[in-house]
């Protein structure tokens, strides 16, 4: 049986994958994400390219296994918002999205020696109009410094929105399990 390897350092993706698999490895790919984010590609192309690069980097080291790469970013009218890193940047991103619709893009690439599956989930998210004090309270509470778009939807971040349109809520957290489960089953992985 082929081993499944998650090509990601994300604790969120690791937790999500553990919902459907009890046995998998994790390896962090060493790629330059900034070079791709600054390449002039569309946000969707950037997310798909990064997911593919992550999967390929780890698959080169483990060609006999199934490797999953993923990337997530926010597309705000063609501008990419990634992980903020600081409270100040969180507040800036949330203010920019306040009262507006953005797309959260979660791209996935699954690679084996013989197969390659690539797909992306596009989630339409409408953030309600936020006051500066609300933004600050939220950032102080959830500290979403490592979250694309500066929110944790699985925590208090849900209160920032008044509408979300998606076919798979796990894609918002970082790994779309509905489509990924189908791909893994197609590759012979036993998933309940």
Helix 177-186 with 11-20: angle, nearest 10 deg: 60
| Tokens linked to 24 | 């998998």
- What's the pLDDT score for residue 112? 97
Parallel, antiparallel, or unpaired for β 161-165 and 79-81? unpaired
Using alpha carbons, select from 5, 14, 6 the residue that is nearest to residue 146.
14
User: Rounded to an integer, what distance in angstroms lies between the CA atom of residue 46 and that of residue 82?
Assistant: 11
Q: Could you give the residue numbers annotated as active site?
A: 71
Domains of the chain (ranges plus CATH)? Answer: 4-186 (3.90.950.10)
Confidence at residue 40, expressed as pLDDT on a 0 to 100 scale: 86
Backbone torsions φ then ψ of 161, nearest 5 degrees:
-115, 155
Determine the Cα–Cα distance for residues 119 and 191; give it in Å rounded to an integer.
19
Residue 158: its pLDDT value, please? 97
Please report the pLDDT score of residue 38 as a whole number: 82
Chunked in runs of 10, what are the mean pLDDT values of the chain (192 residues)?
Answer: 92 96 95 86 96 97 97 95 94 98 98 97 98 98 95 96 96 96 96 88
List helix spans (H) across 24-120: 33-37, 43-61, 87-97
Does the reported pTM lie above 0.95? no
């Amino acid at each position: 049986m082929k081993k499944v390897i998650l090509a990601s350092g994300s604790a969120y993706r690791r937790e999500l994958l553990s919902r459907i698999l009890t046995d998998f490895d994790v390896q962090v790919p060493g790629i330059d994400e900034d070079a791709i984010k600054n390449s002039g590609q569309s946000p969707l192309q950037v997310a798909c390219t990064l997911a593919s690069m992550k999967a390929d980097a780890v698959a080169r080291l483990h060609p006999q296994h199934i490797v999953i790469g993923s990337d997530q970013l926010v597309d705000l009218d063609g501008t990419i918002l990634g992980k903020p890193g600081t409270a100040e940047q969180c507040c800036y991103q949330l203010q920019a999205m306040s009262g507006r619709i953005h797309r959260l893009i979660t791209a996935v690439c699954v690679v084996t020696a013989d197969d390659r599956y690539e797909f992306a989930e596009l989630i339409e998210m409408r953030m309600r109009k936020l006051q500066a004090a609300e933004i600050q309270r939220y950032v102080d509470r959830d500290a979403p410094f490592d979250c694309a778009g500066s929110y944790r939807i699985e925590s208090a971040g849900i209160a920032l929105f008044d509408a979300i349109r998606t076919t798979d809520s796990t894609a918002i957290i970082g790994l779309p399990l509905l489509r990924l489960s189908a791909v893994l089953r197609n590759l012979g992985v036993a998933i309940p």
